[in-house]
């Protein structure tokens, strides 16, 4: 679909779509930074970055996955700048523990997540915290479905190894 919207139409379309998904953007940002101020900064940065690139989006049906991907990138950039860690709330801990029954929660979730690389953290958070399907994660990350599944299984395997080592050493 070619993009023949006028600048005024572009602005209206962008604002309408952004408002529609603003809560999703905020929630995704909050998962990464775990505080309101940083999450709001990410929402603002996402708005700015996506507005600048909006004319490159040819199919408005893809707006949600496109904007979530920008949100994730902005969150990771902020974390790199601040060298912060991800803190998950109780619901996320329960969600992950239900999905990975053989991973004891003897370590803090933060310790476990530190054992993962950014791709693994992102897929794990999208799957178990946000509840996205594998195909939705594939779209958001612009990765093949098989890669997304592999990354998640590798992440879970790494978490299992980490918990086994912890149990062996009595930490």
Which of 18-22, 78-82, 102-106, 132-136 has the lowest average pLDDT?
102-106
Coil/strand/helix, residue 101: coil
Q: What is the CATH number of the domain that holds 116?
A: 1.10.10.10
Residues 77 and 138 in one domain: no
Last residue of a domain, one of 82, 107, 131: 82
139 in any annotated domain: yes
Q: Is the pLDDT of residue 72 over 60?
A: yes
Last residue of a domain, one of 35, 57, 82: 82
Last residue of a domain, one of 51, 82, 113: 82
For 33-60, what is each residue's pLDDT tens digit? Answer: 888 999 999 999 999 999 999 989 888 8
Q: What kind and span of H or E run contains 168?
A: helix 145-169
Residues 103 and 163 in one domain: yes
Residues 94 and 114 in one domain: yes
C-alpha dist (Å) from residue 169 to 13, 72, 166: 56, 35, 5
Tell me which residue of 68, 62, 41 sits closest to 125, measured CA to CA: 68
Q: Which pLDDT score is estimated for 65? A: 86
Mean pLDDT of 74-90: 70
2 in any annotated domain: no
- Average pLDDT for the chain: 78
Q: Which pLDDT score is estimated for 142? A: 84
120 in any annotated domain: yes
Residues 134 and 74 in one domain: no
The pair of three-digit structure tokens given for residue 17, joined into one six-digit string: 């779509």
Q: What is the CATH number of the domain that holds 78?
A: 1.10.1740.10
Reported pTM: 0.61
Mean pLDDT of 73-80: 87
For 92-139, what is each residue's pLDDT tens digit? Answer: 555 554 555 444 444 455 566 667 788 888 888 788 777 788 988 888
Q: Is the pLDDT of residue 165 over 70?
A: no
140 in any annotated domain: yes
Domain extent for 20: 7-82
Residues 36 and 94 in one domain: no
Q: Which residues 6+ apart lie within 8 Å of 143 measured at CB?
A: 137, 151
CA triple 149-155-159, angle to 5 deg: 145
1 in any annotated domain: no
Q: Is the pLDDT of residue 4 over 80?
A: no
Q: Is the pLDDT of residue 171 over 50?
A: no
Instruction: Give CA–CA dist 34/152, Å, rounded.
Output: 22
Residues 59 and 125 in one domain: no
Residues 11 and 58 in one domain: yes
Number of domains the chain contains: 2
């Amino acid at each position: 679909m070619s993009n023949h919207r006028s600048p005024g139409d572009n602005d209206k379309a962008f604002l309408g779509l952004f408002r529609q998904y603003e809560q999703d953007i905020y929630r995704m940002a909050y998962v990464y930074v775990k505080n309101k101020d940083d999450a709001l900064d990410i929402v603002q940065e996402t708005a700015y970055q996506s507005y600048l690139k909006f004319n490159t989006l040819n199919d408005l049906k893809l707006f949600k996955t496109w904007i979530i991907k920008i949100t994730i990138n902005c969150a990771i950039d902020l974390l790199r700048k601040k060298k912060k860690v991800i803190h998950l709330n109780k619901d996320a801990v329960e969600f992950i523990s239900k999905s990975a029954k053989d991973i004891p929660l003897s370590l803090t979730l933060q310790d476990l997540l530190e054992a993962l690389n950014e791709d693994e953290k992102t897929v794990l958070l999208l799957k178990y915290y946000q509840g996205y399907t594998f195909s939705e994660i594939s779209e958001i990350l612009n990765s093949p479905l098989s890669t997304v599944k592999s990354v998640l299984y590798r992440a879970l395997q790494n978490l299992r190894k980490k918990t086994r080592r912890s149990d062996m050493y009595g930490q």
